[in-house]
Amino acid sequence: MKFKHIILLFLIIFLVGFGFVLGNGNKEKPIEASASHILFESIPTLIDTKSFVLNYVNPLKNIDVDAKAAILINAETEEILYEKNIDESAPIASMSKLMSAYLILEAIEENVISWEDDVPISDYAYTISHREPFSSIKLEQEENYKVKELFDAMMISSANDATVALAEKIYGTEKAFVEEMNKRANQLGFANSHFVDTTGLGNMNLFDFFTIGTIDDVNEMSARELAELARILIEKFPHLLDITQTISYESGGETYHNTNWMLMGNNKESLEEFDLDLGFEGVEGLKTGYTNASGYGFTGTIVIEDVRYISVIMDTEAVGDRFIETKKLYEGIINQLY
């Protein structure tokens, strides 16, 4: 029986019972409120929709996700609702920026930096910024940039140059920042995670600027650990979602769109080019990723009936596939309820 049918049945039973009580109560005592008023005042205390959903949604069955690895978790109970190769360490590309975001937001919370601080642009950040086809906002060394502007660029349009600049602002060098990324991964118990840069580009794409590992090394995590990182990040810094569900922003006179095509109202021109309708009600983030090594990936989050879910899709073949496969997971939840 679907969730909506159960709620309807409950209401019918309640109405019948309520009518019986009214019919057999003290008829001499005046009724001060109408039956409908009393009913709807009582429903919120009688039906805790969120609690009901938490107990009602079960692990998804008969769903085939076409990706190297995938996971869906209930962010509140941490229950795994779908899994495929979830403990296999693999390249994650720009989904690495979730760990970068964690350290940056922590630095802001601890007053190491503030949203309004100026951020200098090093030769490294400038070089990455002007090398196609890397995601960037074309930083200029003579311009002034604020922490907030660069953080938005990192999380909305996956700007690599902004990520490097912020890392250098906080720790002086990207190497020091990456060492902290690995330290934090260890503290969180992530045995299948390892970072060599802040962006996810991989050392081969950093030219002479890479400082950790070998030329062939890339950032790697497992689907399970990516989902857990996303869960912790949202729990500790919920205001991050105000940024990750932003459709577009402007920087240097240019408009940049969110790389998350599942956001409702995302009018990125690429959606028309690929003839895809991927907008999904309730999606609030979180981070895309792509390199040749990683394929197309997406760490997403959605709220359905007041319950948050987190998904990870790793290594799909085409740019839209990561969202199509994510949509299968979200529809799996909705099909159970409705």
| First-residue to last-residue Cα distance in the chain | 9
How far, rounded to the nearest angstrom, does the alpha carbon of residue 50 sit from its chain's CA centroid? 21
Q: Which of 97, 169, 287, 327 is catalytic?
A: 97
Residue 46 and residue 14 in contact, taking contact as beta carbons nearer than 8 Å? yes
Is 251 known to be catalytic?
no
Q: Is the separation of the CB atoms in 199 and 101 below 8 Å?
A: no
The one catalytic residue in 122, 129, 135, 158 is 158
Q: Which one from 68, 94, 122, 135 is the annotated catalytic residue?
A: 94
100 a catalytic residue = no
Q: Is 89 a catalytic residue?
A: no
Closest CA to 297 of 245, 226, 248: 226
Residues with catalytic function? 94, 97, 158
